[in-house]
Structure 1
């Protein structure tokens, strides 16, 4: 391996800080709160509501509204924001100008049946449609406000009604997105301070206005005059609704959030409500931040939401498409942690899907056609996270999702304690030979023909003779069958202390933040199957305002490594630095801790990943 100190890694991305537009968009994301417990165990009403959702696992988000017309541009210039649906806020477009633009919205190519059939072919089981986004424009026939696609545009049809009917015909669950806290068209809501200077600002915390009698009372009037009445319309005029998906609920008080939750369940008791109705612990399930690619399960039931590119609404300049294999891996990763994944499309102003969006989804659907058994109704496995992919579980069957085929063709399944009856490729093929390796692991002998086509994971089904039991502690080896490197991300670590926290988990933000207290630390639990030696390296970012020194401690005799924190050019300029050698003398379970030795700046560093290279594979 040699000394790679200061080596620029392939995970580094340009840019030291968030652009201001992205920082502000994140403030509307409702990131996960510290309070993360949900409905109490034994809540029969909740269990009845959530049953279909746990089986479905995959949904489709549709962000569509008059913002599809400008598609990210205003007055001939691109608006500097990732999300095109935020164009009214980002460009500070006056209400009158936005109304005039919306009058031209005439999506004559809209075909609800085609949308739903495409979603079904893509393997998606429920649809969430934006009935009203932050711009205040209703994408349905609202009697509460004439500012709608039916009464304000030449289109004159109700796409929400047509989608609800198409979902019923095709057997998909119909869900509705409704922006209950934010409405830039309304003079008493939040966000629009260019037309209504006395309003609550889009990025204002609740504490900044709750004691302001004028702002508080006017916002409360908006909630009872428009927001709650429109929610009642949606739940009484469109048949059975599987879920109500609220947004920016962290901008409400808990009591206001509870008013929406109560309203939904009073009208449709089996309708699910997401945690953004306020924030956890309210709601039937928790949400991650938008486009959070690195996740941690924080409640039994939780949902990850991603776009196929960067924007949610259609943006003509956004060609930053995610690959189908990346979407498939995101599906697997989320389900392996007991979550659901919702994938977004942003239709064009004519009512069509971008051909690239449709192509990606249908390619994902082809993989699900062969391998969906490992996703639908599946969940987290009690076994350890493997180095070669992920595992999901359903009943007595453990599903092995292979991202990287071991070079020697011997796949070690770590932490599987139950007796195995057979192992076979889920997409078809002969049973595979296997043997037990010690008391806790299984080795599967892969056929030469079992390869990873186009990066799309191959799935093996492991049928056990009993309920699957496992050891979840990560297995490390340094002999035959070990990978070239073990990557222990900080999102896999547990953290302790008052200030240290996980970043958003978005692209290039899968690190720890705010390491300002020397008492804070992170740790990983690991297991070895025998004596092991590794070269340890730490990947982190550090700007001019950070610095100090750190130590790595392993619960084995004499295992303490100390290193100075090196500047990398910025907190998000991630580089890899060698820390030293870690030796584990026997088979067993250990703990690796990352501590601050000394903090010399505003923060120590922003660690992203601990890398352990087996000694036999290092070129020292």
Structure 2
């Protein structure tokens, strides 16, 4: 089950793609997106009245991962929430310091919450006085200061604006503890769109507050690079298009993200929040991530991600031709906290050396190698090695071009590395005994001509386990589906039909024996059944052994299969019998090569 505090982004990620509006002219689209495709990396900033509470209301920690949802989750009455503004005085706010921190981290654009779901605007709004200038002792417009700081430093300024929900406005969505007849936070569009009273009142909110505030942001702060909308699954197609048209009418070059409505809208796509694994359905897309769990500042959230894990996640996104937006939740005083500053400094240090492998690159033409990820640019592959090969032999799979040169990007001398072609598809590079950087070492491959590559996974015979993740497999059937792709949700789930199965394509270059291991979760008292793994005409049988919950993962070693020799093969997992409510949540299949 999905936790309810995650309701918004899951609905965004899973919104149905119905008849789409026409996409803009390709030339106009490319012109708008040119800077964004070059930038690759930006900063998200969630800051507002919720930062003052830090996830705690009247001495009690409010349930839910997201600190910025405290008004809804804590059912804080509007009148009490409004009074928080009297204490919101971020005297340590320094727009120049924020922008310098982003720039030093290697970020090229900033997306700041001009207004989040709580309805409090972080700028001087004439459309609604519930804002930082009119209601707080701070009395300044931080968006104006940020706009000036961004102009000085050459950073693109972008505004997050919660257009679909506003818990402060009596006619919007989400707040039913103050306004019982409102549209509820979890109410689907279909439940109210034909309700004349709710629809009419919601339109009043849009016309009184949402559209006027979007116009203010686009006319009072200079060039705006993106208006970043949220929860578009809660508005109609017509309403979503009106927001796009409003932006286009005022700043034609300003980008709009898909969350203005759904896929088919806006200039580029978005993943779900903190979605580590994704099935790409749009050329241009963006992945958004927190450094801990919450987006807004939360006093009790000390679950900080490691720099290595964030860098790996970031490079994974770049290798899939995506942009990466990393969040900071400033304190109520207006500062970045120390853990955030440490992470930003370390990412900036890595990018100062390796930025060439990020900015202006495109996705990997060679798929997802077992040792890491790849980006590409102008006759060059950048091999981001997450797992250094103990043998000193790094195989570049699927590269058919002639290789001109290879070297380590962090090597100031760029000394050539020995390399040779193994066959028509693969190149071997001899690398040093250990990596130059404990996070990611980048190996550069310069090749001749237009790229000619095979993205099909190549089985590696040594140094690495060959992992076939659920999100990299292709589902066949009616009920089996990919989970959210969040942490530990990188599984296929709802395996209730014995006719459904998942398969992967891979190739091998040598004969040999592989040990087969299946990693899955199976809830005790619910999951159950038998299944088979098929490969090279061989079958291995497995029995689901439920233990713990659906996301408590264990592994089962099924035996070995024989790879007969070079060729392209299919790896398939199929049920034999489903004896529980579902078979299992399959996370991955591993093939460990053990030679002849």
Query: Could you tell me the TM-score, scaled by structure 1's length?
Result: 0.93
User: Which stretch of structure 1 is more off in the superposition, 384-393 or 340-349?
Assistant: 384-393
**Aligned partners of 2:167 and 2:57: how far apart in 1?**
17
State the 1:562 CA deviation. Answer: 2.3
2:530 is equivalent to residue 546 of structure 1? no
**Aligned partners of 1:518 and 1:413: how far apart in 2?**
38
User: Which stretch of structure 1 is more off in the superposition, 139-148 or 495-504?
Assistant: 495-504
Residue 594 (structure 1) aligned to one of 573, 579, 590: 573
Residue 45 (structure 2) aligned to one of 62, 66, 74: 62
Asked whether the equivalents of residues 248 and 276 of structure 1 are also in contact (C-alpha less than 8 Å), the reply is yes
1:525 aligned partner: 505
Residue 252 (structure 1) aligned to one of 235, 239, 247: 235
2:440 aligned partner: 457
2:101 aligned partner: 118
2:205 is equivalent to residue 226 of structure 1? no
1:512 aligned partner: 492
State the 1:21 CA deviation. Answer: 4.8
Q: How does 1:219-618 map to 2 (within 5 A)?
A: 219-428=202-411, 429-448=414-433, 450-453=434-437, 455-478=438-461, 482-543=462-523, 544-554=525-535, 556=536, 558-616=537-595
Q: How does 1:97-176 map to 2 (within 5 A)?
A: 97-176=80-159
**Aligned partners of 2:23 and 2:71: how far apart in 1?**
40
Asked whether the equivalents of residues 23 and 264 of structure 2 are also in contact (C-alpha less than 8 Å), the reply is no
**Aligned partners of 2:449 and 2:25: how far apart in 1?**
26
1:14 aligned partner: none
State the 1:565 CA deviation. Answer: 1.7
Residue 12 (structure 2) aligned to one of 15, 22, 30: 30
Aligned residues: 592
The 1:34/1:216 distance shift into structure 2, 3 A limit, reads closer
**Which digits, 9 at most, give the CA deviation of each residue in 1:167-196, with x for residues without a partner?**
111001110000000100010000000000
State the 1:477 CA deviation. Answer: 3.3
The 1:34/1:520 distance shift into structure 2, 3 A limit, reads farther
State the 1:25 CA deviation. Answer: 5.9
| Structure 1 runs of 4+ with >3 Å offset | 20-27, 36-42
State the 1:474 CA deviation. Answer: 0.4
**Which digits, 9 at most, give the CA deviation of each residue in 1:345-389, with x for residues without a partner?**
000010000011011111100100010000001111211321111
Residue 196 (structure 2) aligned to one of 210, 213, 232: 213
State the 1:498 CA deviation. Answer: 1.8
State the 1:490 CA deviation. Answer: 0.6
Asked whether the equivalents of residues 389 and 464 of structure 2 are also in contact (C-alpha less than 8 Å), the reply is no
The 1:396/1:110 distance shift into structure 2, 3 A limit, reads same
State the 1:603 CA deviation. Answer: 1.5
State the 1:99 CA deviation. Answer: 0.5
The 1:533/1:384 distance shift into structure 2, 3 A limit, reads farther
**Aligned partners of 1:274 and 1:471: how far apart in 2?**
31
Secondary structure in structure 2 of the residue aligned to 1:103: helix
Asked whether the equivalents of residues 539 and 608 of structure 1 are also in contact (C-alpha less than 8 Å), the reply is yes
Asked whether the equivalents of residues 432 and 446 of structure 1 are also in contact (C-alpha less than 8 Å), the reply is yes
**Aligned partners of 1:256 and 1:407: how far apart in 2?**
56
**Aligned partners of 1:385 and 1:106: how far apart in 2?**
48
Secondary structure in structure 2 of the residue aligned to 1:30: helix
User: Which stretch of structure 1 is more off in the superposition, 170-179 or 566-575?
Assistant: 566-575
Asked whether the equivalents of residues 132 and 139 of structure 1 are also in contact (C-alpha less than 8 Å), the reply is yes
2:171 is equivalent to residue 188 of structure 1? yes
State the 1:579 CA deviation. Answer: 2.2
The 1:23/1:341 distance shift into structure 2, 3 A limit, reads closer
Q: CA RMSD in A?
A: 1.6
**Which digits, 9 at most, give the CA deviation of each residue in 1:48-73, with x for residues without a partner?**
11111000000000000011111000
Asked whether the equivalents of residues 173 and 202 of structure 2 are also in contact (C-alpha less than 8 Å), the reply is yes
The 1:352/1:175 distance shift into structure 2, 3 A limit, reads same
**Which digits, 9 at most, give the CA deviation of each residue in 1:6-52, with x for residues without a partner?**
xxxxxxxxxxx66x45454655x511445398975962111111111
State the 1:160 CA deviation. Answer: 0.8
Q: How does 1:1-16 map to 2 (within 5 A)?
A: none
Asked whether the equivalents of residues 273 and 289 of structure 2 are also in contact (C-alpha less than 8 Å), the reply is yes
Secondary structure in structure 2 of the residue aligned to 1:96: helix
The 1:109/1:461 distance shift into structure 2, 3 A limit, reads same
**Aligned partners of 1:559 and 1:299: how far apart in 2?**
37
**Which digits, 9 at most, give the CA deviation of each residue in 1:461-520, with x for residues without a partner?**
111111221110101133xxx134211111111112222211111111111121122222
Secondary structure in structure 1 of the residue aligned to 2:83: helix
State the 1:76 CA deviation. Answer: 0.4
Asked whether the equivalents of residues 137 and 149 of structure 1 are also in contact (C-alpha less than 8 Å), the reply is yes
1:6 aligned partner: none
**Which digits, 9 at most, give the CA deviation of each residue in 1:187-226, with x for residues without a partner?**
0000000000000000110011112111111111111111
Asked whether the equivalents of residues 15 and 233 of structure 2 are also in contact (C-alpha less than 8 Å), the reply is no
Secondary structure in structure 2 of the residue aligned to 1:570: coil
The 1:23/1:301 distance shift into structure 2, 3 A limit, reads closer
State the 1:615 CA deviation. Answer: 2.4
Asked whether the equivalents of residues 32 and 280 of structure 1 are also in contact (C-alpha less than 8 Å), the reply is no
**Which digits, 9 at most, give the CA deviation of each residue in 1:533-580, with x for residues without a partner?**
2111111111122222212122x2x31222222212221111101223
**Which digits, 9 at most, give the CA deviation of each residue in 1:253-296, with x for residues without a partner?**
11111111111111111111000000101111110010112233
- Identify unmatched segments of 5+ residues in structure 1: 1-16
Q: Which of 1 and 2 has higher RCO (CA within 8 Å, sep 6+)?
A: 1
